[in-house]
Amino acid sequence: MSNVENKQSTVEKKTPQENFSQVETGTTAALNKLEAEQATTETIRKTDQLKNEIDKNKYEDLPLQTYNEVVKGTELEQRILKVMSHPDFENYPEMKGKSPEQRAEYLFRKINVAISRFYARKFGITIESPVPEYLYKVIVPATEWFLMDILRGGQENNIQFLGELGKMNIESFSALFNGVRNFSQKFSGVYSQVKKLMMVSDFLSLPQQRGILDKLKNPYDFYQKLMKNPVWDKENLDIRTLNISEFSLQDLQHSSEELQNGQAQLAQGLEMIRSSIGGIQMVDSNPNTVKKLLGIVDSSDKFFEKTEVVNKKLFDAMDKFGSIERTLQSFGLDIFETLNNSKLVKGVLNFVFGLLGFSGGLDGVQRGWRRREIEKNLNPSKREFISDVMKNYSEKKEKSDFSQQIVNQFKVKIKEQDMSKLNLDMETLKGSLLEKLNSADQLNVAVLDTMQSKSFFVERVKNSEGKEQLQIKSDFFSSQELKQKFIDEYFQIVLPKILGNDSFIRKIKSSDDLAFALTSGIAINVDTVVLGMKADALLPSEFFETKVVPDENKQEALEKKDNETGLVEHKELKGYDGKLMRLDEVKGLAKIDLPSFQKKVEDISKDLEINPNWLMTVMFKESGLDSTASNKSGAAGLIQFMPKTLQSMKITRKELLAMSPLMQLDYVKKFYEKNKGYNSLKDLYLEAFFPAARKYSNNPDYVFESPSEGLSAEKIAKANPGIAPKGATRITMKDFDNYVAKIVDKNVPEGFQSQFV
Phi-psi region of 460 (alpha: psi -120 to 50; beta: other; left: phi over 0): beta
CATH C-level class of 562-756: mainly alpha
- Global pTM reads 0.60
Residues sharing a CB contact under 8 Å with residue 471, sequence separation 6 or more, in sequence order = 445, 458, 459, 460, 461
Strand ranges (DSSP E) for 429-524? Answer: 458-462, 468-472
- The pLDDT score that the predictor gives to residue 289 is 65
pLDDT score, position 465: 83
Cα separation, 39 vs 37, whole angstroms = 6
Say which amino acid occupies 678. Y
Which pLDDT score is estimated for 190? 72
Instruction: Give the HSE-up count for residue 489: Cα atoms under 13 Å, Cβ half-sphere.
Output: 16
Question: Would you call 632 helix, strand, or coil by DSSP?
Answer: coil
CA dist 628 → 264, 273, 690, 704 (Å): 24, 26, 22, 28
Q: Is the dihedral of CA 432, 436, 441, 447 positive or negative?
A: positive
Calpha distance 442→337 (Å, rounded): 44
Answer for the pair 177, 27: CB distance below 8 angstroms, yes or no.
yes
Amino acid at 640: Q
Residue pair 739/716 in contact by the 8 Å Cβ criterion: no
Measure the CA dihedral 400/406/407/408, to 10°.
100
Percent of the chain as helix, strand, coil, to the nearest 5: 70, 5, 30
Q: Tell me the C-alpha distance between 400 and 155, whole Å.
A: 69
| pLDDT recorded at residue 98 | 93
Distance CA 189, CA 178 (A): 18
Q: How far apart are CA 519 and CA 385, in angstroms?
A: 9
Number of neighbours of residue 53 by Cβ within 10 angstroms: 12
* Mean pLDDT, 10 residues at a time, the chain of 757 residues: 36 41 47 47 58 72 86 85 85 88 89 88 81 92 86 60 68 74 75 83 82 86 87 78 80 61 70 71 58 66 72 81 71 52 66 74 80 88 94 92 91 86 94 95 93 93 85 93 96 93 90 95 93 87 61 40 38 79 88 82 90 95 93 90 89 85 90 88 93 92 92 92 93 95 91 85
Consecutive H or E run containing 560:
strand 559-561
Left if phi > 0, otherwise alpha if psi is -120 to 50, otherwise beta: which for 595?
Answer: alpha
**Beta-ladder partners of 226:** none
CA-based angle 521:210:501, to the nearest 5?
A: 35
Distances in Å between the Cα of 586 and the Cα atoms of 170, 206, 393, 458 are 49, 28, 41, 63
* CA 142 – CA 610 distance, rounded (Å): 42
The contacts of residue 606 (CB under 8 Å, 6+ apart) are 572, 573
CA-to-CA dists, residue 438 to 385, 427, 556, 667, 713, angstroms: 9, 19, 41, 54, 82
Domain boundaries, the chain: 11-372, 378-542, 562-756
Interacting residues of 41 by C-beta distance below 8 A, sequence separation 6+: none
> Are 307 and 179 contacting, i.e. CB atoms less than 8 angstroms apart?
no
> Phi and psi at residue 677, in whole multiples of 5°?
85, 40
